[in-house]
Each structure stands twice: as structure tokens, then as C-alpha cells.
Structure 1
């Protein structure tokens, strides 16, 4: 993920809001969408994608667990190909 100095104010706020409310930012592919690991509540342990249009589980309709998400990323099995 880009360091905070590379993000504009809106992006820094989005990352801070997510990080401070039950999620850990895992990284970004493009600087405007962020992968987050939910660490509290009913989606705990699931990976979501936070973008300009909102947040949604990845993949739709049910989010992957962290281990499966990492395995897919490592294998190149995802939309980031």
C-alpha cells in the first residue's frame, strides 16, 4: 500500500475510518480501492474491498476468509490478474 504521504486527504480519511472501525487495511491495487480484513462483528475474518462506490465482500455475494483470499492472490486466481 502507498504510504500516507502518497494519498490525498480523502484517501487518508477513508483508510483511517476503516482502520479505526473494526478492519485492518491489507493493501491496494490501484491507490483508490483497498483490501480490508474485517476483525470484529459477524464478518470477522472476511476480506472486503473498499472503493469509491462503497464497500463489498470479495467475491460477491459472500466474502472469502483471509487464508483463502491470500491463497487466491498468491496463485493469481482473482480479478487482479
Structure 2
């Protein structure tokens, strides 16, 4: 996963997965992406950055289940410039002793250093991490905990990052298709 440079093969796969036939009219364009980045003091990770600039900015088709939200909507309640507070999965309902003020950290997990990509419903939201060591990775954040997505984290055979997450969905596989590590 390279979050600093778009891979043309990944971009082609993203175009195919979303089957955008509007010639890029639903994409934001580079000026809007640069304006978002300047306003929020962040550089979006690739290939998501090029995807919203050139392919499409949101889609009613998945992933996730209820569609991919647009950049402005996904960043509306977020503070992407602040560091994402986690470096490993955390099931907070079962681990109350990890942090001195777990409620404050839980609030940060859903807000800081990420963009909301959309939801599978029932409080199961997908986020793209845009700052910190997990920049470029996708995390599922639920009412019970937060989990990084990608084969190196367990529970899935999927590749990491936005392209791996979309490819896994486009292939019709279950999100968590591997036994826990």
C-alpha cells in the first residue's frame, strides 16, 4: 500500500468497481480536493485522493452497504488534521483499563485523523485514516470498538487501504472472511 502516490492499476480497478460512466463529472476535480486539504490542514492519502478528484465523489453503490459518502460529507464532523488515536484494534467494551479517560479516547476515535467513508448500518461505520501511523488504512468503528481492515491485521484476506477495501467489496467477499489471528 502506497498512500503517497496513486498506482494506475489501482485507479483502473477503482473506476471499474464504481462503473462511473459520467466521464468524471461526479468527481470533485483537483481544485476542490486542494481546497479541502488546505481548509483541513491535511493531504489525503492515495489512491482515495485521486479517486475523489478524478473518478467520483461518493456513490449510492457500495462500499459500504449504504454507499460511499462524498468528501465534504465524510469530513463534515471530523477533525482530520488531528492524529488518529489508535495503533491497534480496541474493543472498548471489554478493555476499560487501557486509557485513563476511555470516553475521551472513544470520542477521538470517531472524529480525529479520519474521514467517514460511510456505514453498513447499525453503528458500523468505515473510516479512512488520514493522519498518523495508520494513514491510508481503513478502520471499522462501531459502538463496541474499532478495528483496522487488511490482511496484516487479521480477520480478512483483503489488501490494505482504500483500493484493497474496495477490491474486497467488488469481489463480493464478506468483510471479515478469515479467522481471528
TM-score range, shorter chain: 0.5 to 0.7
**TM-score, normalised with respect to structure 1:** 0.66
Which one of 171, 175, 179 corresponds to residue 75 of structure 1? 171
Partners of 1:55 and 1:40 in 2: how far apart?
16
Q: Secondary structure at the match of 2:121?
A: coil
**Larger-Rg structure:** 2
Please report how far the alpha carbon of residue 78 of structure 1 lies from its aligned counterpart in structure 2 after TM superposition.
2.4
Q: Is contact 2:169–2:175 with CA below 8 Å preserved after alignment?
A: no
Counterparts of 1:42 and 1:51, CA distance in 2: 21
Judged with a 3 Å threshold, the aligned counterparts in structure 2 of structure 1 residues 60 and 72 are, in CA distance, closer, same or farther, namely closer
Which stretches in structure 1 are left out of the alignment for 5+ residues?
Answer: 3-14
Cα offset, 1:61, TM superposition: 5.5
TM-score by length of 2: 0.32
CA deviations over 1:20-66 (Å, ceiling 9, x no partner) = x1101111111411000100000000000000111111247528211
Judging by fraction of residues, say which structure has more strand: 1
Instruction: Select between 70-79 and 31-40 the one with higher mean Cα deviation.
Output: 70-79
State the SS of the aligned residue for 2:174.
Answer: coil
For residues 60 and 49 of structure 1, the distance between their equivalents in structure 2, rounded to whole angstroms, comes to 14
User: Does the 8 Å contact 2:168/2:175 carry over to 1?
Assistant: no
SS of equivalent to 2:140: strand
Hey, what does 1:43 align to over in structure 2?
134
Query: Which structure has the higher relative contact order (CA within 8 Å, separation 6+)?
Result: 2
List structure 1 segments (4+ residues) > 6 angstroms apart after TM superposition: none
Contact 2:151 2:160 in 1 (8 A): no
Number of corresponding residues = 67
Question: 2-side partners of 1:32 and 1:61: how far apart?
Answer: 24
Distance in 2 (alpha carbons) for counterparts of 1:56 and 1:74: 21
